[in-house]
Amino acid sequence: MKQQKPPVVLCFSGLDPTGGAGIQADIEAIAKHGCHAAPIITANTVQDTTNVISFKPVDAALILKQARTVLKDMPVSAIKIGMLGSGETAEAIYTLFRQYSDIPVILDPVLAAGGGTSLAQKNLIDAINTLIIPRTYILTPNVPEALLLTNSKAQAESAAQLLNKMGAKYVLLTGTHTKNPDVIHKLYFKSKNQKSFTYKRLQNEYHGSGCTLAASLAALIAQKMDPVNACQNALDFTYKALINANNLGNGQLIPNRNI
Ligand code: PLP
Protein backbone atom coordinates (compact mmCIF):
# COMPACT_ATOMS: atom_id res chain seq x y z
CA MET A 1 0.00 0.00 0.00
CA LYS A 2 1.30 3.46 -0.88
CA GLN A 3 2.11 5.52 2.21
CA GLN A 4 0.36 8.88 2.57
CA LYS A 5 2.64 11.88 2.35
CA PRO A 6 3.16 13.72 5.65
CA PRO A 7 1.91 17.33 5.66
CA VAL A 8 4.73 19.90 5.66
CA VAL A 9 5.08 22.46 8.48
CA LEU A 10 7.37 25.40 7.70
CA CYS A 11 9.10 26.53 10.91
CA PHE A 12 10.79 29.83 11.71
CA SER A 13 12.69 29.37 14.98
CA GLY A 14 15.94 30.04 16.77
CA LEU A 15 18.65 27.44 17.24
CA ASP A 16 19.14 26.38 20.86
CA PRO A 17 22.35 24.34 21.13
CA THR A 18 21.05 22.46 24.21
CA GLY A 19 18.40 20.93 21.95
CA GLY A 20 15.62 21.70 24.42
CA ALA A 21 13.92 24.66 22.76
CA GLY A 22 13.78 26.28 19.34
CA ILE A 23 14.06 24.50 16.03
CA GLN A 24 15.03 21.13 17.50
CA ALA A 25 11.88 21.11 19.63
CA ASP A 26 9.88 21.91 16.49
CA ILE A 27 11.43 19.16 14.38
CA GLU A 28 11.02 16.51 17.08
CA ALA A 29 7.43 17.42 17.98
CA ILE A 30 6.32 17.82 14.35
CA ALA A 31 7.82 14.45 13.37
CA LYS A 32 6.17 12.77 16.36
CA HIS A 33 2.80 14.06 15.15
CA GLY A 34 3.33 12.54 11.71
CA CYS A 35 4.28 15.71 9.81
CA HIS A 36 7.45 16.87 8.10
CA ALA A 37 9.24 19.97 9.43
CA ALA A 38 10.90 22.38 6.98
CA PRO A 39 13.20 24.29 9.34
CA ILE A 40 14.40 27.88 8.91
CA ILE A 41 16.75 29.26 11.56
CA THR A 42 15.95 32.85 12.52
CA ALA A 43 18.66 33.33 15.13
CA ASN A 44 21.65 31.55 16.56
CA THR A 45 21.66 31.56 20.34
CA VAL A 46 24.35 30.93 22.91
CA GLN A 47 22.62 29.30 25.86
CA ASP A 48 22.64 26.55 28.42
CA THR A 49 19.69 24.92 30.16
CA THR A 50 19.52 27.85 32.60
CA ASN A 51 19.45 30.93 30.38
CA VAL A 52 20.24 32.54 27.01
CA ILE A 53 23.61 34.31 27.14
CA SER A 54 23.46 36.02 23.74
CA PHE A 55 22.03 35.61 20.24
CA LYS A 56 22.68 36.71 16.68
CA PRO A 57 19.76 37.13 14.27
CA VAL A 58 20.14 35.53 10.84
CA ASP A 59 20.00 37.98 7.91
CA ALA A 60 16.31 38.58 7.07
CA ALA A 61 16.94 38.55 3.30
CA LEU A 62 18.46 35.07 3.59
CA ILE A 63 15.50 33.85 5.65
CA LEU A 64 13.10 35.21 3.03
CA LYS A 65 15.02 33.50 0.22
CA GLN A 66 15.02 30.19 2.09
CA ALA A 67 11.28 30.41 2.78
CA ARG A 68 10.36 31.36 -0.80
CA THR A 69 12.46 28.50 -2.15
CA VAL A 70 10.78 25.92 0.11
CA LEU A 71 7.29 27.34 -0.49
CA LYS A 72 7.77 27.09 -4.25
CA ASP A 73 8.93 23.49 -3.92
CA MET A 74 6.63 21.95 -1.30
CA PRO A 75 2.95 22.19 -0.36
CA VAL A 76 3.14 23.80 3.09
CA SER A 77 0.13 23.01 5.30
CA ALA A 78 0.99 25.19 8.31
CA ILE A 79 3.56 27.78 9.36
CA LYS A 80 4.99 27.74 12.88
CA ILE A 81 6.74 30.87 14.14
CA GLY A 82 8.83 30.94 17.30
CA MET A 83 11.75 33.25 18.13
CA LEU A 84 12.05 35.86 15.36
CA GLY A 85 15.28 37.58 16.42
CA SER A 86 14.70 40.89 14.63
CA GLY A 87 11.98 43.24 13.36
CA GLU A 88 13.39 42.82 9.83
CA THR A 89 12.62 39.10 9.97
CA ALA A 90 9.04 39.82 11.03
CA GLU A 91 8.77 42.17 8.02
CA ALA A 92 10.23 39.51 5.70
CA ILE A 93 7.69 36.93 6.89
CA TYR A 94 4.91 39.49 6.46
CA THR A 95 5.79 39.82 2.77
CA LEU A 96 5.31 36.04 2.44
CA PHE A 97 1.86 36.26 3.98
CA ARG A 98 0.60 38.36 1.08
CA GLN A 99 1.51 35.62 -1.38
CA TYR A 100 0.54 32.64 0.79
CA SER A 101 -2.59 33.97 2.43
CA ASP A 102 -4.30 30.60 3.04
CA ILE A 103 -1.65 28.84 5.13
CA PRO A 104 -2.57 28.81 8.85
CA VAL A 105 0.01 30.47 11.10
CA ILE A 106 0.74 29.24 14.64
CA LEU A 107 2.67 31.87 16.58
CA ASP A 108 4.56 31.26 19.83
CA PRO A 109 5.51 34.85 20.74
CA VAL A 110 8.98 34.15 22.15
CA LEU A 111 9.84 37.38 23.96
CA ALA A 112 12.13 36.12 26.73
CA ALA A 113 14.09 33.02 27.67
CA GLY A 114 12.93 30.93 30.62
CA GLY A 115 15.94 32.27 32.53
CA GLY A 116 14.80 35.84 31.92
CA THR A 117 16.99 37.14 29.05
CA SER A 118 15.00 39.34 26.68
CA LEU A 119 14.77 37.90 23.16
CA ALA A 120 12.68 40.71 21.61
CA GLN A 121 13.22 44.46 21.64
CA LYS A 122 10.46 47.02 21.26
CA ASN A 123 10.66 47.26 17.46
CA LEU A 124 10.22 43.49 17.20
CA ILE A 125 7.27 43.51 19.60
CA ASP A 126 5.68 46.28 17.48
CA ALA A 127 6.28 44.25 14.31
CA ILE A 128 4.76 41.11 15.88
CA ASN A 129 1.69 43.12 16.89
CA THR A 130 1.13 44.90 13.61
CA LEU A 131 2.40 42.40 11.02
CA ILE A 132 2.19 38.88 12.43
CA ILE A 133 -0.68 38.77 14.94
CA PRO A 134 -3.32 39.96 12.40
CA ARG A 135 -2.39 36.88 10.29
CA THR A 136 -2.22 34.43 13.21
CA TYR A 137 -4.64 31.52 13.48
CA ILE A 138 -3.50 30.29 16.90
CA LEU A 139 -1.35 32.41 19.23
CA THR A 140 0.20 30.73 22.30
CA PRO A 141 1.34 33.40 24.79
CA ASN A 142 2.03 32.77 28.44
CA VAL A 143 0.73 35.41 30.85
CA PRO A 144 3.87 37.64 30.85
CA GLU A 145 3.96 37.53 27.03
CA ALA A 146 0.27 38.43 26.71
CA LEU A 147 0.77 41.41 29.03
CA LEU A 148 3.96 42.54 27.29
CA LEU A 149 2.43 42.29 23.80
CA THR A 150 -0.59 44.35 24.81
CA ASN A 151 1.50 46.72 26.95
CA SER A 152 -0.97 46.24 29.75
CA LYS A 153 -0.72 45.72 33.43
CA ALA A 154 -4.29 44.55 33.11
CA GLN A 155 -5.52 41.08 33.79
CA ALA A 156 -4.29 38.33 31.52
CA GLU A 157 -7.88 37.65 30.45
CA SER A 158 -8.37 41.18 29.05
CA ALA A 159 -4.97 40.93 27.36
CA ALA A 160 -5.98 37.64 25.69
CA GLN A 161 -9.25 39.17 24.49
CA LEU A 162 -7.36 42.18 23.16
CA LEU A 163 -5.03 39.82 21.24
CA ASN A 164 -8.17 38.29 19.68
CA LYS A 165 -9.28 41.79 18.66
CA MET A 166 -5.82 42.50 17.23
CA GLY A 167 -6.42 39.64 14.81
CA ALA A 168 -5.33 36.34 16.37
CA LYS A 169 -8.32 34.05 15.73
CA TYR A 170 -7.54 31.77 18.67
CA VAL A 171 -5.46 32.74 21.70
CA LEU A 172 -4.27 29.85 23.86
CA LEU A 173 -3.14 31.60 27.04
CA THR A 174 -0.91 29.16 28.91
CA GLY A 175 -1.25 29.09 32.68
CA THR A 176 2.14 28.01 34.04
CA HIS A 177 3.02 31.51 35.26
CA THR A 178 -0.03 31.97 37.48
CA LYS A 179 -0.29 31.11 41.17
CA ASN A 180 -3.09 28.56 40.69
CA PRO A 181 -2.39 25.19 42.35
CA ASP A 182 -3.38 23.57 39.03
CA VAL A 183 -2.13 24.83 35.66
CA ILE A 184 -5.14 26.14 33.74
CA HIS A 185 -4.66 26.95 30.06
CA LYS A 186 -7.45 28.96 28.44
CA LEU A 187 -8.40 29.20 24.80
CA TYR A 188 -10.06 32.49 23.81
CA PHE A 189 -11.92 32.87 20.55
CA LYS A 190 -14.66 34.98 19.01
CA SER A 191 -14.14 37.45 21.87
CA LYS A 192 -16.34 35.88 24.53
CA ASN A 193 -15.93 32.12 23.99
CA GLN A 194 -13.47 30.29 26.18
CA LYS A 195 -12.37 26.75 26.85
CA SER A 196 -10.18 25.68 29.78
CA PHE A 197 -7.68 22.84 29.93
CA THR A 198 -6.52 21.88 33.43
CA TYR A 199 -3.35 19.95 34.31
CA LYS A 200 -1.70 19.02 37.59
CA ARG A 201 1.14 21.47 38.30
CA LEU A 202 4.61 19.95 37.85
CA GLN A 203 7.36 20.98 40.24
CA ASN A 204 10.26 21.28 37.77
CA GLU A 205 11.11 23.93 35.18
CA TYR A 206 11.48 22.98 31.53
CA HIS A 207 13.50 24.23 28.56
CA GLY A 208 11.34 24.24 25.44
CA SER A 209 7.84 23.55 26.69
CA GLY A 210 6.30 26.46 24.76
CA CYS A 211 8.07 25.40 21.56
CA THR A 212 6.85 21.81 22.00
CA LEU A 213 3.28 23.03 22.43
CA ALA A 214 3.21 25.42 19.46
CA ALA A 215 4.98 22.97 17.13
CA SER A 216 2.53 20.21 18.11
CA LEU A 217 -0.37 22.55 17.44
CA ALA A 218 1.05 23.46 14.03
CA ALA A 219 1.37 19.77 13.12
CA LEU A 220 -2.21 19.02 14.19
CA ILE A 221 -3.60 22.06 12.36
CA ALA A 222 -1.59 20.96 9.29
CA GLN A 223 -3.59 17.72 9.53
CA LYS A 224 -6.82 19.73 9.56
CA MET A 225 -7.76 19.01 13.17
CA ASP A 226 -10.20 21.58 14.57
CA PRO A 227 -8.54 24.15 16.88
CA VAL A 228 -10.17 23.05 20.16
CA ASN A 229 -9.19 19.40 19.69
CA ALA A 230 -5.77 20.44 18.42
CA CYS A 231 -5.21 22.43 21.64
CA GLN A 232 -6.31 19.48 23.79
CA ASN A 233 -4.06 17.05 21.91
CA ALA A 234 -1.05 19.40 21.78
CA LEU A 235 -1.37 20.15 25.52
CA ASP A 236 -1.68 16.43 26.35
CA PHE A 237 1.42 15.66 24.26
CA THR A 238 3.39 18.51 25.86
CA TYR A 239 2.37 17.38 29.36
CA LYS A 240 3.58 13.86 28.55
CA ALA A 241 6.87 15.26 27.21
CA LEU A 242 7.32 17.22 30.46
CA ILE A 243 6.47 14.30 32.76
CA ASN A 244 9.11 12.27 30.88
CA ALA A 245 11.64 15.13 30.65
CA ASN A 246 15.33 14.43 31.16
CA ASN A 247 17.67 16.24 33.52
CA LEU A 248 20.55 16.62 31.08
CA GLY A 249 22.14 19.91 32.15
CA ASN A 250 22.47 22.01 35.27
CA GLY A 251 19.27 23.99 34.73
CA GLN A 252 15.81 23.30 33.36
CA LEU A 253 14.81 19.81 32.25
CA ILE A 254 14.65 18.93 28.54
CA PRO A 255 11.19 17.76 27.40
CA ASN A 256 11.16 14.21 26.07
CA ARG A 257 9.31 14.42 22.76
CA ASN A 258 10.24 10.89 21.78
CA ILE A 259 7.43 9.29 23.79
N1 PLP B 1 13.28 29.50 21.02
C2 PLP B 1 14.57 29.67 21.36
C3 PLP B 1 15.61 29.66 20.31
C4 PLP B 1 14.90 29.90 22.68
O5 PLP B 1 16.18 30.08 22.98
C6 PLP B 1 13.89 29.88 23.67
C7 PLP B 1 14.18 30.10 25.08
O8 PLP B 1 15.26 30.19 25.53
C9 PLP B 1 12.58 29.66 23.29
C10 PLP B 1 12.31 29.48 21.96
C11 PLP B 1 11.44 29.59 24.26
O12 PLP B 1 11.56 28.49 25.07
P13 PLP B 1 10.33 27.90 25.87
O14 PLP B 1 9.62 26.95 25.00
O15 PLP B 1 10.97 27.22 27.05
O16 PLP B 1 9.48 29.06 26.25
Rounded Cα–Cα distance for residues 189 and 211 (Å): 21
| DSSP code at position 135 | G
Element (H, E) at 42: strand 36-47
Rounded to two decimals, the pTM is 0.97
**Residues near ligand 1 with C-beta < 6 Å?**
13-14, 16, 21-22, 45, 47, 52, 82-83, 110, 113-114, 207-211
Q: Which atom of ligand 1 is nearest to the CA of 117?
A: 8
> Pocket of ligand 1, candidates 89, 205, 207, 254: which has the most ligand atoms within 8 Å of its Cβ, to mutate?
207
Q: pLDDT tens for residues 212-245?
A: 999 999 999 999 999 999 999 999 999 999 999 9
**pLDDT at site 153:** 81
**pLDDT at site 191:** 65
> Pocket of ligand 1, candidates 11, 12, 13, 16: which has the most ligand atoms within 8 Å of its Cβ, to mutate?
16
Residues in the chain where the model's pLDDT stays below 50 = none
Q: pLDDT tens for residues 151-162?
A: 988 699 999 999
**pLDDT at site 1:** 67
**pLDDT at site 2:** 72
Could you tell me which CATH class the domain 8-150+206-243 is placed in? alpha beta
Q: What are the residue ranges spanned by the domains of the chain?
A: 8-150+206-243
Look at residues 183, 193, 248, 237 and name the one whose alpha carbon lies nearest to residue 215: 237
